[in-house]
Chains A and B, each alone.
Chain A
């Protein structure tokens, strides 16, 4: 590399690396705001895993000198290995925290342009400002009846005790639709094929196998997410 123009770096030992760099602009458009993720190494209780940060400048409007904000993400397994996150053209970041094929936790969240977790109306799990959790859509239908009552939302990648990625009523569970590959599949939600009934969020069940004969893996209640990418406002993700 004969002509290094600039070097921007963290203080020695602050992070393990800068693993990814992404921008808010579309390809071949003027560079927008820059976001990075960095590996960190620390115990679970300290939220070791990775961090997501926004740079204060994008090298065109100035050399970055600071992080506008950063968000520490506890991560192990897939989430640690691949940093599942992406940024929208509005500077909102979708990301996954947690572990894969484990017993603790894995969930997707969304950061607003200030780096704070925010409500997402049509996600199904919402943590309210009074400290309780509510499941349903839209977020504004929570018992307090206002979107302002919602602290933030998530998609939880757990099998037991949760009904994410599954139909909540028999009509959705029994519906037959195109599988996108020339065939059909049963169930409106992607994980329906693993279970023998819809899931009631007030009384979750997770009985298998589904109509396909398949069951979730025997070991762990946490699936974990492998890949996350935003394409023109659509969240594309792969869970395993």
Chain B
């Protein structure tokens, strides 16, 4: 069954939400970017991903790639 969900998030900075997927426990993942994470309540756990190696993004715009 298709389910429509409308959500609002962010602050005066730029954000974009590009893709959504439902987990089998009924919660949703939303991915995208944000210029800052200040709009996320301090009570929400935040985990910064680690990785081995170098990602080429020298011409990037200093954003955060995010999953909510």
Instruction: List 25 interface pairs A-B (beta carbons < 8 Å), by A numbering.
Output: A1-B8, A4-B41, A6-B47, A7-B37, A7-B40, A7-B67, A9-B46, A9-B64, A10-B64, A11-B48, A13-B57, A14-B57, A17-B63, A18-B31, A18-B32, A19-B19, A21-B31, A36-B31, A41-B59, A42-B56, A42-B58, A48-B59, A64-B47, A64-B49, A65-B47
A15 B55 Cβ-Cβ under 8 A: yes
A20 B19 Cβ-Cβ under 8 A: yes
Residues of B contacting A17 with CB < 8 Å?
16, 18, 31-33, 63, 65
In the complex, whether A38 has a CB less than 8 A from a CB of chain B is yes
Within 8 A of A (CB), among B17-46: 18-19, 21, 23-25, 27, 29-33, 37, 40-41, 44-46
Which 5 A-B residue pairs are closest in the complex by CB-CB distance? A17-B33, A18-B31, A42-B56, A46-B56, A67-B51
In the complex, whether A16 has a CB less than 8 A from a CB of chain B is yes
B48 A70 Cβ-Cβ under 8 A: no
Chain B's nearest CB lies how many Å from the CB of A171? 45
Q: A23 vs B28: C-alpha distance in the bound complex, in angstroms?
A: 13
Known interface pairs A15-B65, A17-B63, A38-B65; A4-B44 also in contact (CB < 8 Å): yes
A60 B24 Cβ-Cβ under 8 A: yes
Within 8 A of B (CB), among A149-180: none
In the complex, whether A219 has a CB less than 8 A from a CB of chain B is no
Residues of A contacting B51 with CB < 8 Å?
53, 66-67, 70
In the complex, whether B13 has a CB less than 8 A from a CB of chain A is no
Tally chain A residues at the interface, Cβ within 8 Å. 48
In the complex, whether A22 has a CB less than 8 A from a CB of chain B is yes
Q: A138 vs B11: C-alpha distance in the bound complex, in angstroms?
A: 55
Chain A's nearest CB lies how many Å from the CB of B61? 7
A46 B63 Cβ-Cβ under 8 A: no
